[in-house]
Structure 1
Amino acid sequence: MNGLMNTGVPPTVSPAASPASVVETAVQGAVQKIQGRREQLREQTDRKIMRATLEIMISKGVAAVTIEEVARRSGVAKTTIYRRYKNADDLLQRIQLEVAGLPDFSDLQPSRSGLQAMLERIQNCFDSEIGLKAVGVVLSSDNDSLKTIADQVITPAEQRFATFVERGVASEAFRRGLDTKFLFSTILGSMLTCKALYKDSDSDVPWSERMATLIWPFVKA
């Protein structure tokens, strides 16, 4: 014996793939690649349209936003834009603000250091030049279409800020009776003003630290 038991059962051999199945697999792979590429191109086009719209809003005002002007500035064909949006009003209603995502404060303790960390996250959320300027346009405009931007980003961020303050009040780290809406507006206004009037190199102390130093005496219990 050679050490191997002969069971009399022939070894299992995987059947060779048929030419038809090989072709089908190749076709499916090619289709998936094409679909992925199309989706990527669509996302890139959407970003161009949104960025051009925001740039026009910032530089010329909401009234200057037209499909023609968006096409000229973005380099996207008018026919492509019209396939996505009925007109300029439809575009404004569906515009998306360039932000890094809603800030999350749930892991922060309601303390002096937690307050500063929260301010840093708010700043990072809006910390792109066009993003901050667009926020300023939204806050100063009475255009109903732009209220969708507030609903997307500003209002949810304000709600999370209010929840952070409420946790501080519950733990007796913050005093009662704080006007969270006014506080958030003050924070956002300060951030926008500093971005517009000052450069980051103008001070060795970051905005978040200066703002925390300013408002901490008013919020602590």
Structure 2
Amino acid sequence: MSSAAPPGRGPKVRAAVLAATVDELSEHGYAALTVEKVARRAGVHKTTVYRRWPDRDVLIADALAESVAADLPIPDTGAIDSDLSSLARSLVVWVKSPGGRAILAVMLSDAVGLARPPDQIRHVFRDRIRGALPVVERAIGRGELPTGTNAAELLKTMVAPIYLRALITGEPLTESTADSAARLALTAAHAGLFESE
């Protein structure tokens, strides 16, 4: 007669493996990540990992999606200026976190000529932009932004200065950086620069 797994073991193992994946990516990058290293770091056997995730890229995509969802909440303050500021500040904090560094490591691997991550991994951030679209859509509904404002373009404009500093210039990322990025995107939106044709 086989005994059942202790209660909570499944979710605890999953959480440990996903956290180990993020930490490995953050510290060693996409190309160096192996299921064996993740399993060792999580304190489980590699077959435990393979039972849940058939290959490393599925594991990476799951770990990054979980990290982004947990660390980048979608604000709903009732005003677009504070929503954008809150979203940008969360992004700045996240970019400096292990999860943020892990995503950057994956995205940079293609830029520096390493193996290109599959689209399922690259879509994690695009999915998060889609998840934040209601912030802009609610503002349009409240009359704070012009009707027809392209929410995705507004959000991309807001995150661009943050990623420029994180990936290119290496300048410090602060709350002031976040607030400036939010104001820039909001000013452009009020000027009608994101209105769909």
Partner of 1:62, secondary structure, is coil
- Distance in 2 (alpha carbons) for counterparts of 1:212 and 1:178: 15
Identity of aligned residues (%): 22
Structure 1 Cα separation of the partners of residues 71 and 23 of structure 2: 20
Q: Which residue of 1 aligns with 2:35?
A: 67
Displacement of 1:193 in angstroms is 4.8
Q: Does 1:46 align with 2:14?
A: yes
Residue 115 of structure 1 pairs with residue 89 of structure 2:
no
Give the C-alpha shift of residue 70 in structure 1: 1.8
Shift of 1:129: 0.9
Counterpart position of 1:190: 161
Structure 2 contact 77–83 (Cα < 8 Å) conserved = no
Structure with the bigger RCO (C-alpha within 8 Å, sep 6+) is: 2
SS of the residue 2:162 aligns to:
helix
Q: Counterpart of 2:121 in structure 1: which amino acid?
A: K
Q: CA 1:147/1:107 → structure 2, altered by over 3 Å: closer, same or farther?
A: same
Q: Which residue of 174, 185, 190 maps to 1:215?
A: 185
Does 2:137 align with 1:169? no
Pair 1:127–1:62, CA change in 2 (3 A): closer
Which consecutive unaligned segments of at least 5 residues does structure 1 have? 1-30
Report the TM-score, using the length of structure 2 for normalisation: 0.64
Give 1:20's aligned residue.
none
> AA paired with 1:119?
A
In 2, the alpha carbon distance for the partners of 1:118 and 1:93 equals 22
Distance 1:66 1:194 in 2: 29
Q: Which structure is larger by alpha-carbon Rg, 1 or 2?
A: 1
Q: Is the 8 A contact 2:140 2:147 kept in 1?
A: yes
Amino acid at match of 1:143: P
Q: For residues 44 and 149 of structure 1, what CA distance do their matches in structure 2 show?
A: 26
Matches within 5 A, 1:70-85: 70-85=38-53
CA apart distance, 1:171: 4.2
Aligned residues: 179
Kindly state the Cα deviation for residue 149 of structure 1 after the two structures are TM-superposed: 6.0
Counterpart secondary structure, 2:67: coil
**Contact 1:175 1:220 survives alignment (8 Å):** yes
SS at structure 1 position matched to 2:8: helix
Q: Find the aligned partners of 1:193 and 1:39 in 2 and give their Cα distance.
A: 45
Task: Check 1:63–1:146 CA distance in 2 against 1; reply closer, same or farther (3 A cut).
Answer: farther
Contact residue 92 and residue 145 of structure 1 kept, 8 A: no
1:26-60 deviation digits (Å, cap 9, x = unpaired)? xxxxx9xx96xx24333332222212222333444
Output the amino acid matched with 1:50: L
**Cα distance change, pair 102–194 in 1 and its aligned pair in 2 (3 A):** same
**Aligned CA distance change for structure 1 residues 199 and 43 (closer, same or farther; 3 Å):** farther
> Whole-Å Cα distance in 1 between the matches of residues 14 and 85 of structure 2?
35
Structure 2 gap ranges (5+): 111-115, 192-197
Aligned to 1:104, what secondary structure does the other structure show? coil
Letter in 2 for 1:216: L
Are residue 181 (structure 1) and residue 152 (structure 2) matched? Answer: yes
